[in-house]
Amino acid sequence: MKKAYEILRKEGKEKIKNTLKDFQLELLKHDTNESAKELKIKETEEEKLKEIKINYNDNVKIQQDISNDNNVNKIQNDEKKEGSVWNINNYHWEEKCLTKWAKEELEKILNNSTIELNNNIHLQFFNAEIEGEASSSLRKKKKIIIYDLKIGAEWKASKKNKNNEIEMEAKGYISVNEIISDYSADDQNKYKYTYIFDNNTPEYSTINNVIKSDIPQKMNEIIDSFVEKMKQK
């Protein structure tokens, strides 16, 4: 009986020992499998991030390429607008007459202008007439505006009192010569003014003197603005 007990006890120890040994192996195997899974998941995530980064960089490059193409097309279109269809590179000499446009445009501007002067005097032009020529030339991508114009216009001025009531009116004629492209834009005396007053009596001297004093600066602004507009044609 004792011998049988010893045998069972010995066999039990062996089974427990083997079981513990197998448990350690299974545990190690489980840990190894879990580590492999985690490593695989990490590698998969890294691959996804790498793919996202590649796609993002590709999209950025595509957008940059599109932007560059648009800029190139814009530059090319801007160059084409300066000249005719056949003169795509704007290299060959090309001239466009602007005389008709210049006369009509400047007449329209003047006939619709009311100028405010000192001493509460307001002056309005009418029956404006423009003489001369204007043209736009193109050569080697350089645009050149050439003009030689003269303005003639009748005017009517009114002086108002403190109650904004007209207390005096004057009429006359003004001519502006030497509106030419050779002058510097900063030259304040580039245009030559001549005045004719319908009434030169002493009571009109104040209003006449204000007109002669203030008109050049106001007219220069109108003419210079017109010239800038003509340069865009």
Class of the CATH-defined domain 94-232: alpha beta
pLDDT per residue over 147-160, tens digit each?
A: 999 999 999 999 99
Lowest mean pLDDT among 68-82, 108-122, 128-142: 68-82
Q: Which two tokens stand for residue 32?
A: 């190894």
- State pLDDT tens for residues 53-98: 677 676 666 667 666 655 545 544 544 455 554 445 545 567 889 9
* 40-52 burial code (b ≥16 CB/10 A, e <16): eeeeeeeeeeeee
Inter-axis angle of helices 99-111 and 205-231, to 10 degrees?
A: 140
Strand, helix or coil at 87? Answer: coil
The whole-angstrom distance between residue 152's C-alpha and the CA centroid of its chain comes to: 36
Residue 186 sits at φ, ψ, to 5 deg, of: -90, -5
More confident residue, 85 or 198: 198
**Cβ(137)–Cβ(94) below 8 Å:** yes
| Alpha-carbon distance values, 126 to 39, 106, 123, 153, 170 (Å) | 90, 12, 10, 6, 14
Closest by alpha carbon to 116, among 217, 195, 38, 14? 217
Instruction: Indicate the DSSP class of residue 148.
Output: E
135 near 148, Cβ under 8 Å? no
Q: What is the mean pLDDT of the chain?
A: 79
pLDDT of 5 over the 60 cut: no
Residue-wise pLDDT for 200-224, tens only, equals 999 999 999 999 999 999 999 999 9
CA distance 125 to 41: 85
Question: Collapsing DSSP states into helix, strand and coil, what is residue 232?
Answer: coil
Structural element, H or E, at residue 214 = helix 205-231
Q: Where are the domains of the chain?
A: 1-47, 94-232
